């Protein structure tokens, strides 16, 4: 059984900059941690539970304090200045071997003060404050480690050590203006190099200083991701292969040649970009003209002539603005083409829908609704064509399903007929509403067919819960399927459709929660469920049994119980996620070796503690039939989703970070690792936000802490592209 992660004092974030640790080593101690898979100090837990309850925050819509980063940074500047003053007084009274050590402590503080003071004045969207927060924490850690080394050898410093200390000292007299993070990188590299000498690092330590940043994990591609832009060669091939009039083909070929020539000229890259963009647009327009998409014979000739003239004018640099203006007037047609192309209509069907696309082009105010109907039509057709062999059904039910499929085929054909007759002159001419009617009917018929075909399996699942009266479920199912076969809408048909949907929904919930969650560490189960899974399972079975009996008896199922079961399923699914976060936090020590990340297990545990308590409370509520914590849990899950996603995101990098050096070699390697224009800006910003929030949460200004917490969650949600 894995032991729960136990707290150890944070070595980076929280020291010096955030938690009140002085440069002389005097630390403001906090109470010891409790045992939890999301560890945190009791004082921090009390603060967080108060200010981030699962209910809407009690700050009354409090706004974050103005310039919180500036306030925290300038406060630290003041503390550093006081420390420097004390050290300077000691320096004036010291002599001999102690002087180099005092110089080191003063010099590092001056560098830190320089960083903090400049970052405090940075604009809100500047990357400088996040970089400075990380750099100051690293400098502080490295300075303490080197001071400890020098303490034991002050009387025998080598020439190289003295040279390193001297160079660092001289640097403090010529600190540059910070224009960007690159300047900060240069200074940190110089300081790191000087500290390597001053620390008298062993050869093995000096060699083991890699870049302290893991390689970014490639983003998973999504099927709906935008296709890669066409290459210039592809566009040129399309232009020369276009089956259009000789005049248009001549202009397309000339444009392709001009674009290729400009692309090969290093001095004409701006011109090359403009020609590439126009060639891409011209190819799209030529494709529409070639296939007659959205064009009747009259408008086709007009658009083709306009395209020929526009390309001729655009190819000559002297008349390019005129040509662009001519082509811009074709923008609406190109937009229609683009949307039609995204539909992916098969060639044969595209020919049948040609009159529809002409109507769309001629009626731009209503064309969008028609294209949406075509898109939905294609989706329902693909859904019907992809249906697998139907499950065995009793003869009466099979007859009903076959009749519904014939109705589907009628609407499928009717859609094409009405689409071809859009805007006709007859009394019975069709409009966009007719197309929507067909599509809606197709969707409803397929829903009903699939529901009927799944009904036997669903009834078999619910039979395990012994619904009463015996046989009632089968009788209701037979009557419901018979009702569904009628093409005429009625109240009875709606009731039967709802019954079939309810049986399927309850059966699916029963199936998906038939087995307890597997592979979850005992520590996570205890923290997130309070060891109430057995009681929750009994309660779940009782609810499913009750719902099954209600359905068998012809009663309306208890919607509240269905909602509870849906929430329970989400809660059980979340346990696997909690295990992933637990695994990430258990690697917190190695993750903080990463130059862009400084949030330790303690800080992250404090952030996620209210979510842990909300989840455990919801399991208690289900076991005790207390609906309040159960109904609140979905909002808590949504609220803390950005932090959960962030923990999982950084957890991917635990293995490469474990290979980084720790201790002083790690600090020095971080100073040598650049931050400017490097990946992982999200991680750097999150590290800063947590540090600033923690600073406020430890004060009496809980209203500001609440607002900062909400602001941090909102930004993370946006950066991680999570749903609102």
Give the H or E element holding residue 426.
none
Phi/psi of residue 168, each to 5°? -65, -40
More confident residue, 38 or 502: 502
**Higher-pLDDT residue of 361, 271:** 271
Look at residue 593 and tell me whether its pLDDT is greater than 80. Answer: yes
pLDDT digits (tens, 9 = 90+) for 484-507: 888 888 888 899 999 999 999 999
Buried b (16+ CB within 10 A) or exposed e, 665-684: bbbbbbbbbbbeebebebbb
Per-residue pLDDT band at 62 (split at 50, 70, 90)? low
According to DSSP, the residues that pair with 430 across neighbouring strands are 422
As a dihedral over the C-alpha atoms of residue 24, residue 28, residue 31, residue 33, rounded to 10 degrees, the angle is -60
> Residue 660 has what pLDDT?
94
Tell me what pLDDT residue 646 has.
95
CB neighbours of 512 closer than 8 A, spacing ≥ 6?
569
Q: Which residues of 499-534 are buried (b: 16+ CB within 10 A; e: fewer)?
A: bbebbbbbbebbeebeeebeebbebbbbbbbbebbe
- What does the pLDDT average to over 343-356? 83
Please tell me the distance from the alpha carbon of residue 664 to that of residue 522, in angstroms, as a whole number: 36
pLDDT digits (tens, 9 = 90+) for 597-629: 999 888 888 899 999 999 999 999 999 999 999
pLDDT at 368: 84
Higher-pLDDT residue of 19 and 297 is 297
Report the alpha-carbon distance of residue 682 to residue 715 in Å, rounded: 10
CA distance 166 to 183: 21
Phi-psi region of 650 (alpha: psi -120 to 50; beta: other; left: phi over 0): alpha
Give the three-state DSSP class for 329. coil
Evaluate if pTM is beyond 0.85.
no
Range with the poorest average pLDDT among 1-5, 81-85, 278-282: 1-5
Torsions phi, psi for 430 (to 5 deg): -100, 165
Among 217-221, 225-229, 231-235, the range of highest mean pLDDT? 231-235
Q: What mean pLDDT do residues 298-304 have?
A: 82
**How many helices, marked H, and strands, marked E, lie in the chain?**
30, 0
Per the model's pLDDT, the better-predicted residue between 429 and 451 turns out to be: 451
Instruction: Please tell me which residue, 306 or 139, carries the higher pLDDT value.
Output: 139
pLDDT of residue 303: 86
Alpha-carbon gap, residue 402 to 453, rounded angstroms: 11
Of the candidates 486, 453, 590, 424, the residue with the CA atom closest to the CA atom of residue 12 = 590
CA-nearest of 106, 86, 197 to 149 is 197
Average pLDDT, the chain: 86
| 345 pLDDT tier (thresholds 50, 70, 90) | confident
Which of these ranges, 130-139, 286-295, 301-310, 641-650, has the smallest mean pLDDT?
286-295
Lowest mean pLDDT among 175-184, 390-399, 496-505, 627-636: 390-399
Q: Check if the beta carbon of residue 218 is closer than 8 Å to that of residue 202.
A: no
What pLDDT does 424 receive?
62
Whole-angstrom distance, CA of residue 91 vs CA of residue 243:
87
With 80 as the cut, is the pLDDT of residue 558 above it? Answer: yes
Angle value at C-alpha 429, between 428 and 435, nearest 5 degrees: 110
Mean pLDDT of 56-62: 40
Q: Does residue 427 surpass a pLDDT of 80?
A: no
CB atoms within 10 A of CB 561: 17
Task: Please compute the mean of the pLDDT values over residues 568-594 and round it to a whole number.
Answer: 93
Terminal Cα distance for the chain, rounded: 38
Of 11-20, 417-426, 647-656, minimum mean pLDDT range? 11-20
pLDDT higher for 114 or 37? 114
Domain map of the chain by residue range? 1-214+573-617+636-724, 232-343
Please state, in angstroms and rounded to a whole number, the distance separating the CA atoms of residues 187 and 175: 8
Tokens 């202009």 appear where?
251
Where residue 392 falls among pLDDT bands split at 50, 70, 90?
Answer: confident
Residue 310: how many other CB atoms lie within 10 Å: 24
Task: Tell me the CB-side half-sphere exposure of residue 556, using CA atoms within 13 A.
Answer: 4
């Amino acid at each position: 059984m894995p032991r729960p992660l136990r707290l150890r004092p944070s070595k980076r974030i929280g020291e010096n900059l955030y938690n009140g640790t002085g440069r002389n080593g005097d630390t403001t101690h906090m109470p010891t941690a409790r045992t939890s898979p999301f560890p945190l100090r009791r004082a921090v837990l009390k603060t967080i539970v108060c200010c981030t309850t699962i209910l809407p925050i009690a700050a009354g819509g409090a706004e974050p304090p103005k310039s919180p980063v500036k306030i925290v940074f300038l406060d630290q500047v003041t503390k550093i200045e006081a420390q420097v003053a004390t050290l300077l007084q000691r320096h004036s009274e010291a002599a001999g071997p102690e002087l180099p050590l005092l110089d080191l402590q003063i010099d590092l503080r001056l560098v830190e003060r320089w960083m903090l003071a400049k970052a405090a004045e940075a604009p809100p969207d500047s990357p400088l404050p996040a970089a400075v927060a990380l750099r100051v924490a690293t400098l502080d850690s490295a300075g303490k480690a080197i001071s400890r080394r020098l303490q034991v050898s002050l009387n025998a410093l080598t020439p190289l050590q003295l040279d390193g200390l001297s160079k660092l000292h001289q640097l403090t007299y010529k600190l540059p203006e910070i224009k960007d993070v690159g300047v900060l990188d240069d200074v940190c590299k110089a300081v790191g190099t000087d500290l390597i000498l001053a620390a008298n690092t062993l050869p093995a330590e000096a060699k083991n200083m890699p870049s302290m940043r893991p390689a970014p994990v490639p983003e998973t591609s999504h099927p709906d991701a935008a296709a890669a832009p066409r290459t210039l060669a592809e566009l040129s091939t399309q232009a020369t292969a276009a089956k259009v009039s000789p005049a248009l083909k001549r202009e397309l070929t000339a444009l392709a040649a001009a674009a290729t020539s400009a692309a090969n000229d290093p001095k004409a890259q701006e011109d090359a970009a403009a020609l590439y963009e126009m060639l891409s647009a011209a190819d799209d327009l030529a494709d529409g003209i070639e296939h007659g998409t959205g064009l009747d014979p009259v408008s086709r000739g007009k658009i083709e002539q306009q395209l020929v003239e526009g390309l001729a004018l655009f190819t000559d640099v002297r008349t390019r603005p005129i040509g662009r203006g001519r082509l811009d007037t074709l923008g609406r047609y190109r937009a229609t083409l683009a949307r039609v192309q995204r539909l992916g209509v098969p060639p044969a069907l595209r020919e049948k829908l040609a009159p529809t696309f002409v109507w769309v082009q001629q009626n731009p105010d209503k064309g969008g609704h028609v294209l949406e109907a075509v898109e939905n039509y294609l989706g329902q057709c693909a859904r019907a064509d992809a249906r697998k062999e139907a499950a065995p059904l009793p003869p009466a039910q099979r007859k009903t399903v076959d009749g519904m499929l014939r109705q589907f085929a009628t609407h499928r054909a009717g859609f094409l007929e009405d689409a071809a007759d859009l805007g006709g002159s007859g009394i019975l001419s069709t409009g966009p509403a007719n197309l929507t009617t067909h599509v809606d009917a197709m969707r409803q018929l397929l829903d009903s067919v699939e529901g009927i075909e799944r009904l036997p399996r669903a009834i078999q699942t619910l039979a395990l819960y012994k619904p009463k009266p015996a046989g009632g479920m089968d009788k209701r199912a037979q009557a419901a399927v018979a009702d569904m076969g009628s093409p005429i809408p009625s109240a009875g048909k709606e009731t039967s459709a709802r019954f079939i949907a309810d049986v399927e929904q309850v059966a699916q919930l029963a199936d998906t929660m038939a087995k307890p969650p597997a592979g979850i560490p005992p520590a996570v189960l205890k923290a997130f469920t309070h060891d109430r899974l057995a009681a929750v399972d009994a309660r779940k079975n009782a609810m499913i049994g009750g719902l099954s009996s209600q359905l068998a008896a012809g009663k309306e199922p208890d919607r509240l119980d269905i909602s509870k079961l849906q929430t329970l399923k989400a809660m059980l699914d979340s346990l696997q996620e909690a295990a992933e976060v637990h695994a990430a936090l258990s690697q917190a020590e190695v993750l903080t070796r990463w130059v862009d990340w400084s949030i330790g297990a303690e800080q992250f545990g404090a952030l996620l503690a209210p979510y842990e308590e909300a989840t455990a409370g919801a399991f208690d509520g289900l076991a005790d039939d207390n609906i309040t914590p159960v109904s609140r849990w979905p909002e808590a899950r949504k609220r803390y989703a950005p932090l959960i996603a962030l923990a999982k995101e950084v957890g991917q990098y635990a293995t490469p970070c474990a290979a980084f050096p720790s201790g002083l070699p790690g600090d020095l390697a971080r100073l040598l690792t650049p931050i400017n224009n490097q990946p992982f800006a999200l991680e750097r910003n999150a590290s800063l936000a947590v540090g600033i929030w923690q600073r406020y949460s430890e004060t009496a200004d809980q209203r500001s802490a609440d607002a900062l917490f909400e602001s941090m969650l909102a930004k993370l949600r946006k950066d991680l592209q999570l749903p609102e």
